[in-house]
Every structure is written in C-alpha cells, then in structure tokens.
Chains A and B, each alone.
Chain A
Amino acid sequence: MPRLLDATNLPDADLVALAQEGRDEAYRELIRRYERPVFSLVYRMVRDREAAEDLAQETFIKVLNNIEKYSPEFKFSSWLFKIANNLAIDSLRRRRLDTVSIDGASGAATQAEIEATSFEIGDRSENALDEMANKELGAAIEVAIAKLRPLYRSCILLRHVDGRSYEEIAQLLDLPLGTVKTYIHRARHELREALEDTR
C-alpha cells in the first residue's frame, strides 16, 4: 500500500508524475488546484452555469484520462487551459443555431477565423445578462466580457484573469504572437467603451 501523500505543496510537474504512476491523491490535487480557474474561464466564455459545469468536467476527464501523454516541456496548466478553451469555443459554435452571428473579426482571413471571432448573442442568455447588468462594476465587467467576440474573450480572460503571458496565450490558442497582442488591445478598448457609463 503506497504511503499517504501530502500533495498540496508539490509542483504540478511532480503531481503529474505521481498521477502517471496511478496515485489517486495526485489526480484529486490537480482537480482541486484547477477546478476554480478552469470553471471560471469556461463559465465566462459560455455564460451558462450548467454548460460550464459540463465543459469543465469534460476538460478534466479528457486531460486526466490522457495524463500519460503529457509532455513535461509544457506547463500542465497551459495544456489544461488549452483544452478548456477549445471545448468552450466548440460549445459556442454548436450553439450557433440559437444565436445571431453579427460579424467576424476585421482581421479574419479564413472562414474558420471569421466563425471563431463572430459576435454571438444568445436569446436566453441576453435576458439573463440584462438582469445581471446592475450598477456594480464587477457585474458590468462580466457582462462586457460576455459581449466580446469569443477569441477576444479567451485572450482577455487568459491575460487578465488567469495572468498568462502573451507568449503562453499564443501557444495556447495556436495564434501568432502579434495577433494575440492585437486581440487583447482591441478587447481592452471594447471593454472600456462598454464600461464608460458605469465608471
């Protein structure tokens, strides 16, 4: 019987190594460490608690069931967030039938990029968002972020909520570094414009 493990102080790479050896505590510690950041990212992307719960769960299941494929030259959290973000973007694309596509990103060159950056407003969530739009700044920011194009939303959340570097975001979203910087700058400006009345 393996000895009980105090996993709370171990770095991610060690936890992953232990998980690869079949240590249940290591799996649970990885979930405990990242359940909130992953759920927050996914929830802010899809704006639906139930869907976010399912997507966050799917993210962890996907990652942990493939833990033996993890390559230590990348950060575990980058891998996790990449999968979470991809699942959230896929979910938004699937929900396109319920939504109205307004516009693609001005710099979008391919059809896939236009689709990925199109601005979508869900009928149901729009009402919920309106209800949420009270005078509190935090809630107003949440609403403004929800109205950004999906890729702008991913970039701004990864940069300013999860504190990722530009390089990491570029790697995570498979985008050129310059594009990431542009998206973040544009997203900030859109947010500031949207929040001008609130501040």
Chain B
Amino acid sequence: MTLTRHLLPDELDLLLDGETGFGVQQLTGHLRDCAQCRDELAALRAFVLDIETLPEMAPQFGFADRVMYEVHVFEPWHVAIRTSLAGWMPASPVMRIAGGTALTGAASLVTGAAAWGWAHRDATVFVGGLVTERAREGLFASLTATAQALVGPLGATFGSGLPLLGLAGATLLTGAGVGFLGLRAVAARARRLEA
C-alpha cells in the first residue's frame, strides 16, 4: 500500500538517514511515484552535503607547543627500565647476534654450574666455605696492611677488628652508591621528559 499524501518532514529525515525499519518501505514506495517528494529529498540531501563540506578551521600556529607546555609527560618505571635495557643493546645486527650468543653461552654455563653444584651439594658447600675463608683472610690482610700504613704499628691493633666491619661498610657504601646513582638517573630522565 502506498501513501496518498506527500511525505512529512520527519519521514524525509528517516529516508535521509537511510533507516530501514518498519514502515520505511511504504515511504520509498511513495517516493517512486511522487516527483515532488523526490525533489524534496534531493534538496535535503544537497543541504546536508553543504553542511558536511564546511571547511575545518585551524588554531593559531604553535598550538601543539602551547598544549605540550602544560602536559606532564610521565614515563612509568617499567618503561624506564625497558628503555634503559634497550640502551645496552648493540646497534649492528652482527653485534647483536654475537652479544646474544655470548649471553646465551654465559647463561648456559651458569645454569650448568648451578646444576652441577646442586648435584654435588657437599662439595659445593666445602668449596664455597674454602673460598669465603680465603677471601676473608685476604681482605683482612689487606685492611691490616692499609691500617698499618696509615696509622703505624697502632693500626695493627685496630686492624684485627676491621675485616667484618670493613666488609659490612664496603657493602653498605656500594649499595648506597648504586641506589643513589640509579635514583639520580631516573630523576634526570623524568626532568628531560618534562622539559
């Protein structure tokens, strides 16, 4: 059944929007027979096209810089670590392959040694103890010699208590130093990003 009247504005809008729901068939049927409504729809389409082709406007030059001046670019810690590690990656493919091979070799060696050590736990504990003892003695001797050189024979007396203290101090200092440098690097990076 077709319509016996002309299409209403809302019905023309439905056709313009490409609606396909219930009742639209009747409207399109009327459109086939009515030149006036066809012209009306064509005019509506042309009008919408005029709106759609309005030109875009541009903000003033330097808009992006003004925005970025107010935006706080922040690099999350996990990305900072990934970026830092990527910085160690060699640039040339050959060096990458060589580096990867060396790293894989070293990792295999360490894994093998760890597996062997686990399989021979007694021997590992014995060798480990021996190495630690030798290192401790070596450190003790060098610290005593340093103390003697600095404060004379009296240093030998103080020197006897130094090894453990020295070891603890050296570990603490190394840890503090690494921590400080790490934090400084992260802070410097954040400042660079904000700038």
Mark A116-146 against chain B: 1 for CB-CB distance below 8 A, else 0.
0000000000000000000001100110010
Which residues A141-194 have CB closer than 8 A to chain B?
141-142, 145, 156, 160-161, 163, 166, 181, 184-185, 188-189, 191-192
Which residues B43-67 have CB closer than 8 A to chain A?
44, 47-48, 50-52, 54-60, 63-64, 66-67
Are B71 and A36 interface neighbours, CB within 8 A? no
B20 vs chain A, min Cβ distance (A): 14
Which among A22, A57, A160 is the interface contact of B48 at CB below 8 angstroms? Answer: A160
Which among A24, A39, A64 is the interface contact of B193 at CB below 8 angstroms? Answer: A24
Of the listed residues A22, A24, A27, A43, the one surrounded by the most CB atoms of chain B closer than 10 A to its CB is A22
Which residues B1-32 have CB closer than 8 A to chain A?
9-10, 13, 17
Which residues A18-54 have CB closer than 8 A to chain B?
20-22, 24, 27-28, 31-32, 35-37, 39-40, 43, 52-53
A56 in the interface (beta carbon within 8 A): yes
Are B68 and A43 interface neighbours, CB within 8 A? no
Interface of B is mostly: helix
**Known interface pairs A21-B76, A22-B74, A22-B76; A31-B63 also in contact (CB < 8 Å):** yes
B125 in the interface (beta carbon within 8 A): no
Are B68 and A195 interface neighbours, CB within 8 A? no
Are B67 and A188 interface neighbours, CB within 8 A? no
Are A27 and B60 interface neighbours, CB within 8 A? no
B72 in the interface (beta carbon within 8 A): yes
Chain A residues with Cβ under 8 A from B55's Cβ?
138
B152 in the interface (beta carbon within 8 A): no
**A118 CA to B130 CA, complexed, in Å:** 89
Which among A56, A138, A191 is the interface contact of B63 at CB below 8 angstroms? Answer: A56
Chain A residues with Cβ under 8 A from B17's Cβ?
166, 181
A106 in the interface (beta carbon within 8 A): no
Chain A residues with Cβ under 8 A from B98's Cβ?
none
Are A27 and B63 interface neighbours, CB within 8 A? no
27 contacts between A and B (CB under 8 A): A20-B76, A21-B75, A22-B193, A27-B73, A31-B68, A35-B59, A36-B57, A36-B58, A39-B57, A39-B58, A39-B63, A40-B57, A43-B57, A52-B59, A57-B70, A64-B67, A65-B72, A138-B50, A141-B50, A141-B51, A141-B54, A163-B52, A166-B17, A181-B17, A188-B47, A191-B47, A199-B47
